[in-house]
Structure 1
Amino acid sequence: MALKLRELSQGECYGILEHARFGHLACCRDGQPYIAAIYFSFAGDVAYSFSMPGRKLDWMRANDKVCLHVEHLPSGGGWTSIVIEGRFQEFPDNGLWHDERVHAWSLLQRHSNWWEIGSLKPAELPVLSEPPHVFYGISIGALSGRSAGRDD
Structure 2
Amino acid sequence: MNSLETAPFDEKKIAVLSRPCHKSMKTMAKLHEFGFILLPHPPYSPDLTPQRLFPVLDLKRTLAGKKFSANEEVIAKTETYFEAKDKSYYNNDIKKLEIRCNCWRCMARLRADNWPSHLLEAEEQKTTRPPKTKMSR
TM-score of the pair, normalised by structure 1: 0.26
- Which structure: greater strand fraction? 1
- Which structure: greater helix fraction? 2
TM-score of the pair, normalised by structure 2: 0.28
> Over alpha carbons, which structure has the higher Rg?
2
Which one scores higher on RCO, CA 8 angstroms, separation ≥ 6? 1
